[in-house]
Chain A
Amino acid sequence: MSNGAILPLRLADVSFAAGGRTIIDGVSLEIETGPSTIILGANGAGKSVLMRLMHGLLSPTSGRIYWSAPERPGTPRKQAMVFQRPVMLRRSAYSNVAYALKIAGIPEPQRGALAHEALESVGLMHLAQRAARILSGGEQQRLALARAWALHPEVLFLDEPTASLDPSATREIEAVIRAFDSSGTKIVMATHNLGQARRLGDEILFLNQGRLVERAPVEQFFAKPQTAQAAAFIKGELPWT
């Protein structure tokens, strides 16, 4: 991984529309190394779409997105994403991680050690040979984290990773995310769970109807929101319902 850091990530007046509906509306921001960033907003605010734009799964309708060092095709990605519902391949937990390494172009002899390390980091070593699709929801999500983590990406996007999990599975996932965070990976996570945002975040990007309305350190955001929408969201009042 000879080329330099891919952060910071810059979005310049990025909009995204689909089916005649504007989902992301003129967002400009910069994401730097360091603080873990939480994208907060109600359902339909555009959190998932914004992350997919950043991760490159969607292309903006207008505006520009650029990383400080663009990814070169044929080299392992330095960013990874974990989705709300993990998609597991029809093979063992171990092979799911090894598959990601193979796609990244890691030579076979090195895959074993990396995959084991990744499974270890999410506490799934004992289930390595189990078929991935019959694991529980929480285990699948931890496996998805291991798969995303196997190459120690510089940036890890997480799209509501605990939205469909019970509290104990959620705690496990949060512990894994914290560990990744402290090992130096930049965390960018979408959530609508205020407690989780507080527990895992350093800074908040607050989205409302496709617009970035507020950006602030966590403490400040919750203590003194600068906009009425953010204040209403924190209070649990949804002004558009």
Chain B
Amino acid sequence: MSEALSTALELLVRFDPKLVEIVSLSLGVSLSAVAVATLLGLPMGAAIAVGRFPGRQTVIVMLNALMGLPPVVVGLLVYLLLSRAGPLGSLGLLFTPGAMVIAQSILILPIVAALSRQAIEDAWREYEEQLRSLGAKRTSAALTLLWDTRFSLLTAVLAGFGRAAAEVGAVMIVGGNIDGVTRVMTTSIALETSKGDLPLALGLGFILITIVLALNAAAYLTKELAQRRYG
């Protein structure tokens, strides 16, 4: 164990090329998924928060439930979609990073949308009369709220990133864990552990936790600073 730990540290310190490759692919895939989920999820959250339409409550319950979507199930669905016989099979995306981005985007979209819906709806309760009094339409009110809750939304986006970076089931199924192509941190940890190569697995695990921790710390500090500056 201690030997594994020291080897892991060594890999980290000398920027082992294989390690770097895996880490950058991981970040590339998960950050792309976060970008997609944010682009779609924030407007969705805002629309549900201030919108009035039939079935709104059902949508909210569904969205909240989808936050707990099992990654393997998402992986399976995307696999079926992208497999050669599937409806999107002609795109040839299966076992590429693109497929992994799609799967992770689907996985975290409900998280970003549901958490931002909550934050924006809370703000809407506070702002509604004032904004309506000024003559704001619902659409412009939604945009105003998106901007005014920007620091809370950071937390929603970050929760999505944490989920994407940490999941293994979806990327394993649609990526295939192909060395040098679709191998990311979580899938290599699973593989190396089962092979008994603990140093690499440990090193990757260490990096994964550090990244998530650092991002959350940065987001927390941003929020704290913003709170003090903007109230």
Contacts and interface: CB of A to CB of B under 8 A. Distances in A.
Interface of A: 52, 55, 57, 76-77, 80-81, 83, 86-91, 99-100, 103-104, 131-134, 147
Contacts of A89: 127, 144, 148
Interface in B126-166: 126-127, 129-136, 140, 144, 147-148, 150
B53 interface: no
B54 interface: no
Contacts of A104: 134-135
Measured as residues with beta carbon below 8 angstroms from the partner, the interface class of chain B is: 10 to 19
Interface of B: 126-127, 129-136, 140, 144, 147-148, 150, 228-231
A71 to B, nearest CB: 8
Contacts of B132: 57
Contacts of A57: 129, 132-133
Contacts of B140: 103
- Closest 4 CB pairs between A and B? A133-B231, A87-B130, A134-B231, A90-B148
B227 to A, nearest CB: 9
B134 A91 contact: no
A107 B197 CA distance: 65
Given A87-B126, A89-B144, A103 B134 contact: yes
B129 A83 contact: yes
A77 B144 contact: no
Contacts of A83: 129-130, 133
Contacts of B130: 83, 86-87
